[in-house]
Amino acid sequence: MARNPLGKTRDVENPYATFTDGDFEYRIAKTYKLAKNEAADKYARWNVYARSPFTYNSWEGPRDTPRAEVLGNMRLTYASPEFIEAYRDDPKIRIAA
């Protein structure tokens, strides 16, 4: 069985990826499955840090959040090399070439 390269929790200042939508921001601290296995799982979740006006722009987390919630209206604004490698073929995540 292949090992998940994004399975170790990272600090808020060193996320695997960052997604934003206006004043809302998610930083990916950890994923629980290999990227290729998430597409078939509508309940896939990521461990994220979050901040928004509702948190007074302070970080909360990390907390488990549905992958679909992160990808819903959010835009990828940062991706680590590990994240790019894992998700480069995922049609729901637009990684700039």
Average pLDDT over residues 15-30: 96
pLDDT score of 67 = 95
Long-range contacts of 69-74 (CB under 8 A, 24+ apart): 70/19, 70/26, 70/28, 70/46, 71/19, 73/21, 74/19, 74/20, 74/21, 74/24, 74/26
Phi, psi of 89 (to 5 degrees): -100, 5
- Residues 23-73 pLDDT 10s: 999 999 999 999 988 978 989 999 999 999 999 999 999 999 999 999 998
Question: Would you kindly state where each structural domain of the chain is located, as residue ranges?
Answer: 17-87
pLDDT score of 95 = 75
Average pLDDT over residues 70-79: 92
pLDDT score of 81 = 95
Average pLDDT over residues 6-32: 96
